[in-house]
Structure 1
């Protein structure tokens, strides 16, 4: 009875020695070769879970960048962080250049808008100087007041001042491309008032430019001013850094509505009458 345990222990010893001999004959393996098998052989109690198990002191501070470099060449003592320098601040000119490079090529669009502004602006400047100074065979300031009074305007002095400011001031701003939405809105309101004045002189649609009441030229100028509001002045202008210069948005519709409203209110207050009499249902 007492010999059986000895036999089993001797058998276990022989088995372990045989396993050791067989293990010695195999090459050493890594835990990564069979991680599942290694974890199965590891006692869960032996897995470190806390700083104390890992031999770390929670009060220790993380060394700063480059700390611990003694220059002795000892890899265990030398320690450092790989630092990334902050990105350099981008200048405003670089941002504008990048934004411009991302924009599609505009071709001759800016040149075409510049020519359109010159033609429309100089036309209004021409008529404004005629009314203000009498140049280019114009009526002058007194002649303009007389013309407005005979044309049925209730306040000829105020009407004269408004038409000269709209034509001369708006035309100058259009040519140089400064405050373009307001300038184009001013000339649009002025030319719409003139359009209603001529149209209301005689019943029916008065479009033929060969008649004194023809609104053909006024319609073309109003369409050109409307196009400038909707497209912007382009880059060949003082407004080139403004958003409305190349990318006008919903603000353009606001300017158009305000210009039309200003023309209607001005004509109704200073002249009165129905400018569309005899046109269709009017």
Structure 2
């Protein structure tokens, strides 16, 4: 009654004998690779077998050719349809971005822009070339211009307090900004410098005579200056396009906050320069002013 019904009696075949020294009874599953002694009276057999090491042990015939080798050895047996197409690494198209996520691919050409970049290049050439032309007139006297001394005298006679400073700012803005705009380099800053220059010219002419001077036929007419203000501001807001040195910049094709800030800064600089170096209200006689 004291023996457990599930335990085999001691000395029964297949039961592990307790080890000396009070070691617990072990199962063959504790160490599958360990060799256990065979029970008393049982036939001793070799419990291990050599693993197959050659094709002959596995029952294979190594001299039998593969199907692909046999097929390739027969002329005309293979067809282009049976050959799997291979792709170069660069020819594999990139996987599309998951829905709701923006693609992180590098900046590349987008054919859907059509002639937009070409039109922006033409706009830059017209704007930059015009300012370069007037800058060279004021600096070197080319193209029947006044030259540096003539520009200083013109600024002094026009009511500018410091004609040398005003002439220097005017020439640097026209030449430097015009060259950078043609190249499409640092376009928001370059076009902002041109916008500040032409705004000062607009206010200078407009303030000479009361009333709105939108007439190109008169000396104080601001018609051409107004057009230059508009297209220069438009260039800041549209960007130089991808046919420019700024093609890898965000403002080249998708201008936003930075370009708006550049235009606001250009307007503020023009107003501050006019107030400090010239003074007066250029809007006298225009509407409520």
**TM-score, normalising length from structure 2?**
0.64
Matched, 1:221 2:228: yes
- Helix, strand or coil for the counterpart of 2:241? coil
Q: Which residue does the alignment assign to 1:183?
A: 190
TM-score of the pair, normalised by structure 1: 0.66
- Output aligned runs, 1:262-273, within 5 Å: 262-273=269-280
Partner of 1:100: 108
Gap change, CA 1:71 and 1:248, over 3 Å in 2: farther
- The aligned residue for residue 278 of structure 1 is 285
User: How many matched pairs?
Assistant: 200
Whether 1:202 aligns to 2:209 is: yes
Supply the distance in 1 between the matched residues of 2:279 and 2:257 (Cα, whole angstroms). 32
Residue by residue over 1:197-255, the C-alpha shift from the partner in whole angstroms, topping out at 9 and shown as x without a partner, is 00000000011000101100001111111111001101111111111111111111101
Cα distance change on mapping 1:72 and 1:213 into 2, 3 Å = farther
Distance 1:56 1:256 in 2: 82
1:119-198 maps to which residues of 2 (within 5 A)? 119-198=126-205
2:76 match = none
Q: Structure 2: any 5+ residue segments left out of the alignment? A: 1-28, 32-51, 58-88, 95-102
Paired with 1:99 and 1:203, the residues of 2 have a C-alpha distance of 51
**Aligned Cα root-mean-square deviation (Å):** 2.7
Matches within 5 A, 1:38-53: none
Q: CA deviation at 1:71?
A: 7.0
Residue 44 of structure 2 is matched in structure 1 by none
Residues 107 and 248, structure 2, Cα contact 8 Å, conserved in 1? no
Cα distance in 2 between the residues matched to 1:183 and 1:116: 14
Structure 1: gaps (5+ residues) = 1-54, 58-69, 75-88
Q: Separation in 2 of the partners of 1:273 and 1:56?
A: 102
- Partner of 2:63 in structure 1? none
CA deviation digits over 1:155-201, x for unaligned, max 9?
00000000001101100001111111110000000000000000000
- What is the deviation of 1:100? 2.3
Aligned residue for 1:258? 265
